[in-house]
Amino acid sequence: MMVRLQKFMAECGVASRRASETLITEGRVRVNGQLVQELGKKIRPGEDEVTVDGAKVRAKKKLYIALNKPRRYLCTRQDPSRRRTVMELLPAEWDSAYPVGRLDYESEGLLFLTNDGDFALRLTHPRYGVTKIYEAIVDGRVTPQITKRIVRGVESEGEMIKAVAARVLDTSETQSIVRVELSEGKNREVRRLFSACGLEVEQLVRTQIGPIKLGELPSGKWRTLTEPEIKSLLPRT
């Protein structure tokens, strides 16, 4: 069966499909030794040889990992400042995996890692609408007026951001626990939403991505996603 070149590259873990398209148009990809720069090119996996920057693209076992990211770990493959990264929590032989989206340095909770670029794109691009749920411990009382405001949208750092839903789980004069649902996952979005309302997030845990929940997975531990879980995260066709 013939498949589009960028789809094959994404499935082999080279990059997301969109990033693979960029590699093609930049003239960095060859098929059977011939330079390819058009995006409509199709190949026969297992028969045609694909290279990127001279290195042969090889099909890899696809990895789909759920990790409970601890605080003060970076969601990156490596850090020039030698801070701890989430890759240190995985087996060394899984070095082809990379984080899907990000949790900031001080945040914790559910994080996916994969070497399937197409899967990563479907979880991170806004058009697919995969929601993420967080529990935020906020310094101070969060009122219904505040939750309504962050759902309507607030301005932060020159852009409008908003939550899909927000609900106070518990509150006192000094602290509140709030469940926040997002559909885009912009940089530090939950913290920015509350900051725009004059409140600071003390602790932030992502508890769910799409239908997959963090559950009882201990901090710093991982598990592989099941086939039904993987299918549940992909858009129905």
Residues assigned a catalytic role: 104
Backbone angles phi, psi at 117, to 5 degrees: -65, -35
Alpha helices in 50-125 (DSSP H): 117-124
Helix (H) or strand (E) holding 200: strand 200-209
20 and 10 in contact (C-beta within 8 Å)? yes
Q: Residue 4 and residue 34: Cα distance in Å, rounded?
A: 16
Q: Are 4 and 20 in contact (CB under 8 A)?
A: no
Give the rounded distance of the alpha carbon of 25 from its chain centre.
25
Work out the end-to-end distance of the chain between its first and last CA atoms, rounded to an integer number of angstroms. 19
Residue type, 172: S
Q: 6, 21 in Cβ contact below 8 A?
A: yes
Two tokens at 200? 């600071």
The answer to whether 121 and 21 have CB atoms below 8 angstroms apart is no
Helix axes 17-25, 117-124, angle to 10 degrees: 120
